[in-house]
A and B are shown apart, each in its own frame.
Chain A
Amino acid sequence: MPYNIAMVSDFFYPQPGGIESHIYQLSSKLISLGHSVIIITHAHGSRVGVRYLTHGLKVYYVPFYVLYRESTFPSVFSFFPILRNVLIREEIEIVHGHGSLSSLCLEAILHSRTMGLRTVFTDHSLFGFADPGSILGNKMLKFTLSDIGHVICVSHTCKENTVLRASLDPVTVSVIPNAVVASNFRPDPSKASSEYIKIIVISRLYPNKGADLLTAVIPNICKIHPTVRFIIAGSGPREIDLEQMREKFQLQERVELVGSIRHEDVRDVMVKGHIYLHPTLTEAFGTVLVEAASCGLLVVTTKVGGIPEVLPSHMTIFSSPSEDSLTQSTLEAIKLIESKAVDTSKFHEQVKGMYGWHDVARRTENVYDSVAKIDNEPVIDRLKRYYGCGIWAGKLFVMCVVIDYLLLRVLEWLYPESGIDRVRKWPRRPIDKSLLAGENSESAKIESEDEDSGLGGTTAIS
């Protein structure tokens, strides 16, 4: 049965990023499956209010103060009035939050549970347990997820991490990977250089993305292989180190720094190369690896986080996160490309069969079906869940939830449900029966049918 779903996250277009495109792609696929989806995020500058994207995907940009790296100020209760209004207006049944650093998402889950709605949460990243930031973040996550319907993680490693961080029952956590719009990442062998081996790196140049490893590895490889060229896209605090390295070893001719590029242009950069190098130190899933393989690149990557789960061994060469190992693996990849021992031309078709948004949407739909079946428990049982969070934290959390209930009563008195207008749903074309059948062979067809919807969404809203 079709659901009314609200996706809530601080991370959404117009700012670029992995979570942003995940929410967009998943929402549009859920709409093609017959559900009604809205997105709630914070306002970006003058972008305040309701906007429509393709397929009648509606976005609420709620005015909120942005604290740090696009996360809003955590105020626990201040989001409740406007959220309640939107959820009632849209007759929402399932609230789906994304990103554990998004306070908007965590607050929305708390308030929706108070209102008795079903909740789902998707975790996109990995966190440690030792540094103060993680400890605080993990406590907040544990608080919010104490009463969650179901949790989705993007990889098995991410699931293990989230289960530990939020003390969850692993059965309530599903693993549904990210996907790529394969048609946007078609290989183009004519663009690749025949005289040079080109190695592509697309990464934000931060220490945790392995920028230091990259800076160390490039001169080693350039010294051994005279026909290797690098193209590095992305910016960040370590960009200056790369530039210094380039000058020190006089590699200006051979190492091209493109700066940050838009997601639409990633494919055009990728098809120029033969090898994709990914030196990261932490990664929950690594969508960019799938994109690179889809473009027909041989992938060299560090074996960290969820990366070993993402691609089959014939597409990837794994290395440990050390300078020597990464150099060795890259040299091995160069040898494989030179001797034509791997056939990268088949990668695109193979990747297309592995990851598709239609598949992700169907599996997410399964999760929605399961949470729709969960009965709402009495308030006291809900409070018990929060009470178990810790000696002091438990009492604090229970207090927060009790205040939340009182706030709900006040809101019901101030803005009675009968006084809130219900919106008319976006007129939809009749549901395509073959979509609901969801055969594997069909999903490829759907991909190509919705080709321009993939990244067209970005242009539609900007």
Chain B
Amino acid sequence: MDYTRFTTRSGESYKMDSAVMPRRPWRKLLWVHQPYPDNYVDASFLSQLKRNLHVQQYSFWALSSDSTVIISHVYSVAIFVCVFVAIYKDKYNPAWFASIGSICTLVGYFAWDGLGEENTTSRTATAKSAILIVSTLLGLSPVLKSLTQSTSSDSIWAISFWLFVLNIFFHDYSIGSKKTFPPTLSTNLAIAAATVLASRLSTTLSVFSFLLFSIELFGLFPIFSRWLRSYSFVAHLILTSILAVVTEVGMFYIGGWWALGVWSVAILSAVFVAPGWLIALQKYKNEIQGPWDPAKPVLRSR
């Protein structure tokens, strides 16, 4: 069989070859020997290439309102830090925070229990496990108080900072089905941060109160806020506004006007500037799809 001589890098000889091309059109097949050179480039080359097929057009206000989901979790972390500073500086009675947290938890629980459609665990079982956790915590508090006595405070601040950063990254921000509970990783990170911070506190009562508050805030509150998001987004926005006010007050108390200003600018830019920036960056989007992509199998659910 006669292979047409090979074309070279330069465009000229390539064109020369296409000039003497036989009439029979080239086909994208391998099993048939075609009178074209192996490096022949047909006009149909890359014709199946598709660009930005699955790119979603964002609207500013949708992005902005969705960002409140992240913001509300950041608020939780900020409130938690404020509470720690308040207890650490012995400014306030730690039992106060535990009581406020427990009252909010009870209110939240009854709202969830009353409005949620189906709850698999009975109320007595929930009450039993709540009592168990609280008494375990009470028993462990003296141990946890001396947990990191041999570690310097600076290391503790650094560790808890990174644990909270990871917690914010791994938190489950999804909106939708309330069946699945938040992933344990982010909860564990937050509880670990709370434990190392608690070990800096001076009395057993403050350790107990602080840990109880942290379990309520990072263990139970995410379940509630997830449910609230799927129940009603307006209720979620109201809750976020309440959290916002509480956080601003807390920031003002621990850091004065300066902290309040920086915090507000950061939050406002996350809600209003970041979505606009994301939309502005969309013009650089260049997704490539073609026949080489692995196919997505379509299976009938059984």
Residues of chain A whose beta carbon lies under 8 Å from any beta carbon of chain B: 126-130, 150, 155-158, 160-161, 163-164, 169-177, 208, 210, 212-213, 216, 281-282, 284-285, 302, 304-306, 308-312, 320-325, 354-355, 359, 362-363, 366-367, 369-370, 373-374, 439-440
The distance from the CB of B221 to the nearest CB of chain A, in whole angstroms, is 33
- The answer on a CB contact under 8 Å between A171 and B41 is yes
Q: Which of A171, A177, A282 contacts B9 (CB 8 A)?
A: A171
**What 16 additional pairs, Cβ within 8 angstroms, besides A173-B39, A174-B38?**
A129-B288, A160-B48, A171-B39, A175-B39, A213-B299, A216-B299, A216-B300, A282-B292, A284-B292, A285-B30, A304-B291, A321-B295, A321-B296, A366-B5, A367-B6, A373-B8
CA of A295 to CA of B37, assembled, Å: 30
- The answer on a CB contact under 8 Å between B292 and A128 is yes
The distance from the CB of A168 to the nearest CB of chain B, in whole angstroms, is 11
- The answer on a CB contact under 8 Å between A172 and B291 is no
Q: State whether the Cβ of B284 lies closer than 8 Å to any Cβ in chain A.
A: no
Q: A175-B38, A176-B38, A321-B297 are in contact. Are A157 and B31 (CB under 8 A)?
A: no
- The answer on a CB contact under 8 Å between B297 and A177 is no
Closest-by-CB residue of B relative to A312 is: B31
Neighbouring B residues of A374 by C-beta, 8 Å: 8-9
CA of A440 to CA of B1, assembled, Å: 6
- The answer on a CB contact under 8 Å between B6 and A366 is yes
Q: Which of B55-82 contact A (CB under 8 A)?
A: none
The distance from the CB of B86 to the nearest CB of chain A, in whole angstroms, is 43
Neighbouring A residues of B292 by C-beta, 8 Å: 126-128, 157-158, 160-161, 282, 284, 305
Neighbouring A residues of B294 by C-beta, 8 Å: 128, 208, 281-282, 304
Neighbouring A residues of B291 by C-beta, 8 Å: 157, 160, 304-306
Neighbouring B residues of A163 by C-beta, 8 Å: 46
CA of A370 to CA of B39, assembled, Å: 11
**By the criterion of a CB under 8 Å from any partner CB, how many residues of chain B are at the interface?**
37
Closest-by-CB residue of B relative to A324 is: B300
Q: Which of B11, B28, B30, B287 contacts A177 (CB 8 A)?
A: B30
Neighbouring B residues of A126 by C-beta, 8 Å: 292
Q: State whether the Cβ of B14 lies closer than 8 Å to any Cβ in chain A.
A: yes
CA of A359 to CA of B3, assembled, Å: 10
Neighbouring A residues of B125 by C-beta, 8 Å: none
Over the window 264-302 of chain B, the binary record of Cβ atoms lying under 8 Å from chain A Cβ atoms (1 yes, 0 no) is 000000000000000000000001101111111111101
Query: What is the predominant secondary structure among interface residues of chain B facing chain A?
Result: loop
- The answer on a CB contact under 8 Å between A370 and B8 is yes
- The answer on a CB contact under 8 Å between B11 and A156 is no
Neighbouring A residues of B288 by C-beta, 8 Å: 129, 164
Neighbouring A residues of B302 by C-beta, 8 Å: 216
- The answer on a CB contact under 8 Å between B30 and A281 is no
Closest-by-CB residue of B relative to A156 is: B28
- The answer on a CB contact under 8 Å between A170 and B299 is no
- The answer on a CB contact under 8 Å between B293 and A171 is no
CA of A324 to CA of B14, assembled, Å: 46
- The answer on a CB contact under 8 Å between A171 and B6 is no
The distance from the CB of B27 to the nearest CB of chain A, in whole angstroms, is 9
Q: Can you give 13 contacting A-B residue pairs, CB < 8 Å? A: A128-B292, A160-B290, A164-B49, A169-B9, A171-B9, A212-B299, A304-B295, A309-B31, A320-B298, A323-B300, A324-B298, A354-B32, A370-B8
Neighbouring B residues of A362 by C-beta, 8 Å: 3
Q: Which of B5-25 contact A (CB under 8 A)?
A: 5-9, 11, 14
Neighbouring A residues of B11 by C-beta, 8 Å: 171
Q: A128-B294, A155-B30, A158-B292 are in contact. Are A172 and B9 (CB under 8 A)?
A: yes
The distance from the CB of A222 to the nearest CB of chain B, in whole angstroms, is 14
Closest-by-CB residue of B relative to A322 is: B298
Neighbouring A residues of B37 by C-beta, 8 Å: 174
The distance from the CB of A193 to the nearest CB of chain B, in whole angstroms, is 29
CA of A87 to CA of B45, assembled, Å: 37
Q: State whether the Cβ of B238 lies closer than 8 Å to any Cβ in chain A.
A: no
CA of A363 to CA of B6, assembled, Å: 9
Q: State whether the Cβ of B29 lies closer than 8 Å to any Cβ in chain A.
A: yes
Over the window 144-164 of chain B, the binary record of Cβ atoms lying under 8 Å from chain A Cβ atoms (1 yes, 0 no) is 000000000000000000000
Neighbouring B residues of A324 by C-beta, 8 Å: 298, 300
The distance from the CB of A167 to the nearest CB of chain B, in whole angstroms, is 12
Residue from A163, A171, A355, A366 having most chain B Cβ neighbours under 10 A: A171
- The answer on a CB contact under 8 Å between A323 and B31 is no
The distance from the CB of B30 to the nearest CB of chain A, in whole angstroms, is 4
Neighbouring B residues of A323 by C-beta, 8 Å: 297-300
Neighbouring B residues of A216 by C-beta, 8 Å: 299-300, 302
Q: A160-B45, A171-B9, A281-B294 are in contact. Are A355 and B31 (CB under 8 A)?
A: yes
Q: Which of B1, B14, B38, B290 contacts A366 (CB 8 A)?
A: B38
Neighbouring A residues of B7 by C-beta, 8 Å: 171, 370
CA of A198 to CA of B28, assembled, Å: 32
Closest-by-CB residue of A relative to B31 is: A354
- The answer on a CB contact under 8 Å between A281 and B297 is yes
CA of A216 to CA of B294, assembled, Å: 18
The distance from the CB of A423 to the nearest CB of chain B, in whole angstroms, is 30
Neighbouring A residues of B33 by C-beta, 8 Å: 354
- The answer on a CB contact under 8 Å between A171 and B3 is no
Neighbouring B residues of A359 by C-beta, 8 Å: 1
Over the window 128-141 of chain B, the binary record of Cβ atoms lying under 8 Å from chain A Cβ atoms (1 yes, 0 no) is 00000000000000
The distance from the CB of B161 to the nearest CB of chain A, in whole angstroms, is 27
- The answer on a CB contact under 8 Å between B41 and A170 is yes
Closest-by-CB residue of A relative to B302 is: A216
- The answer on a CB contact under 8 Å between B30 and A175 is yes
CA of A308 to CA of B295, assembled, Å: 14
Closest-by-CB residue of A relative to B13 is: A171
The distance from the CB of A293 to the nearest CB of chain B, in whole angstroms, is 9
CA of A161 to CA of B46, assembled, Å: 9
Neighbouring B residues of A285 by C-beta, 8 Å: 30
Q: Which of B3, B29, B293 contacts A128 (CB 8 A)?
A: B293
The distance from the CB of A337 to the nearest CB of chain B, in whole angstroms, is 22
CA of A174 to CA of B293, assembled, Å: 21
- The answer on a CB contact under 8 Å between A281 and B295 is yes
CA of A302 to CA of B48, assembled, Å: 17
Closest-by-CB residue of B relative to A152 is: B38
Neighbouring B residues of A373 by C-beta, 8 Å: 8
